[in-house]
Chains A and B, each alone.
Chain A
């Protein structure tokens, strides 16, 4: 059926990722601003010599629902576009979708994508 590809990436990579997905013919995606941390555990700021640990780093979350067959290609394109090679590049994961409905027409399943 369909898959949901979710990616948490560095905010400045959003435009690159959007371009890569458009090139694959992906019609739409959802973007949210989120905060969190992974293995690098935030970052450190210094004020008059006092160090503050900032736990949550700003990230962008992208969600895109795609056809099963396209999912692998979308993941590859997304990872390639979002990668800088430095710590904190983010994560991508794929989950199954049980049902999709287009609100305007009531279409269901792959037709609704």
Chain B
């Protein structure tokens, strides 16, 4: 019998490992999805810079994660629930196989993808005007000082042998897949950075309309697809809770899409494509913390409200005059706050296995915990991000010069352009320098291509 029991446990661990590996890959795919979602919303002359900020985040955060990021987030608590220790630097001890348990490498890979997309999310607030080099520095510093500790607060749970972060354990706020650590964190940082960098030249008077809405929808679709890994993967097992998170994610997102369109139809007389994409993302954001706390009917209510609230919230930047280019505040900060707080109302113990929200007879206590967690992350992220952004701006400069901003950040910073509408007709390009293909007339090969200025 004991042998059989062991075999069953091993099979279950193996199934969980398989699901979490797949979920990790799904979550990574969200970041390229985000790149296209954001890229389509910028103007044609800065779409590459927008996409590059997401891909750059993948590079920086992945490297730091192995070196010390995972350790700061998930090693035993080192300081009052605020940050992990340095015991797992270089993923020390992580790659050891423990029979019958979920391999820690897989958990580490899964959590890495969260760190990547959280950083990438911020870039939407500073579209069209950030230096790529400054962004890369920011990404590394922000991940180190803001994301890794906050991930410890929210995602590091106590176990028999380890002690985790204060929000997850001491406070007991519910955040299934990262409404606080990911969305409030990134949204608050986006607001701070938008303030540090200032408004785009010409905003809000000139047209900053999206240059490619099909790209936005494609990106939103990829995000939606990847988000199943994000939310259902956060069960850290292939089990019923993962199934609940999955169905909640689907219905909340669909409901939010509808909610956003209803607001648009009433307010603007048109249900728009950008509204559909934005509503879906708002729903994904809002259900993220709550997908392991509410039942599917709760998810529908949450979704419709989140879509409607975020549709109204994206107008805040015009009222208060901050240029959050792609509405990181309106969608991620507001959506994240809403999703985190409404857990205090809609949580039901049939899903959470203990905690009830106000509407299920739980009183105000869970709502209070949710509010403390949400506003602690909001305040920490805002203050630290403002300081990091300010220092980068005063030292290396965070913004491109005016000429580059007007002529296009893609050619100015990256020496590339996304689209060539007139190739072969009015503009002819000549190969100058670099690896010229054989047969190119030597006289056309000159020294040094025009270097991208930054």
Contacts and interface: CB of A to CB of B under 8 A. Distances in A.
Interface of A: 45-52, 54
Among A46, A51, A54, max chain B CB count under 10 A is at A46
A50 B272 CA distance: 12
B432 interface: no
Contacts of B210: 47
B318 interface: yes
Contacts of B207: 52, 54
Nearest to B318: A50
Contacts of A51: 268
Contacts of A50: 204, 315, 318
A54 B204 CA distance: 15
A50 B209 CA distance: 9
Contacts of B209: 45, 47, 52
B71 to A, nearest CB: 40
Given A47-B209, A48-B327, A49-B268, 20 more contacts: A46-B264, A46-B268, A46-B272, A47-B272, A47-B274, A48-B272, A48-B274, A48-B275, A48-B278, A48-B311, A48-B330, A49-B264, A49-B311, A49-B314, A49-B315, A50-B204, A50-B315, A51-B268, A52-B207, A54-B207
A49 B274 CA distance: 10
A54 to B, nearest CB: 8
A4 B311 CA distance: 52
A11 to B, nearest CB: 19
Interface string B270-284: 101011001000000
Contacts of A45: 209
B394 interface: no
B267 interface: yes
10 contacts: A46-B272, A47-B209, A47-B210, A48-B275, A48-B314, A48-B327, A49-B267, A49-B314, A50-B318, A52-B209
A50 B274 CA distance: 11
Interface in B129-183: none
B325 to A, nearest CB: 11
A45 B330 CA distance: 20
Nearest to B277: A48
A47 B212 CA distance: 12
A54 B318 CA distance: 19
Interface residues of B, number: 18
B358 to A, nearest CB: 31
B37 to A, nearest CB: 13
Contacts of A52: 207, 209
B270 A46 contact: yes
Contacts of B315: 49-50
A45 B207 CA distance: 11
A51 B318 CA distance: 12
A43 B209 CA distance: 14
Interface string B240-274: 00000000000000000000000010011010101
Interface string B398-431: 0000000000000000000000000000000000
Among A49, A51, A54, max chain B CB count under 10 A is at A49
A19 B210 CA distance: 37
B281 to A, nearest CB: 11
Nearest to B213: A47
A49 B270 CA distance: 10
Contacts of B330: 48
Among A47, A48, A49, A52, max chain B CB count under 10 A is at A48
A48 B264 CA distance: 8
Interface in B176-226: 204, 207, 209-210
Contacts of B311: 48-49
Nearest to B271: A46
A51 to B, nearest CB: 8
A48 B268 CA distance: 9
B199 to A, nearest CB: 14
Interface in B322-375: 327, 330
Contacts of A48: 272, 274-275, 278, 311, 314, 327, 330
Contacts of A54: 207
Among B268, B270, B275, B314, max chain A CB count under 10 A is at B268
A49 B275 CA distance: 9
Nearest to A51: B268
A52 B272 CA distance: 14
A52 B314 CA distance: 15
A49 B278 CA distance: 11
A47 B276 CA distance: 11
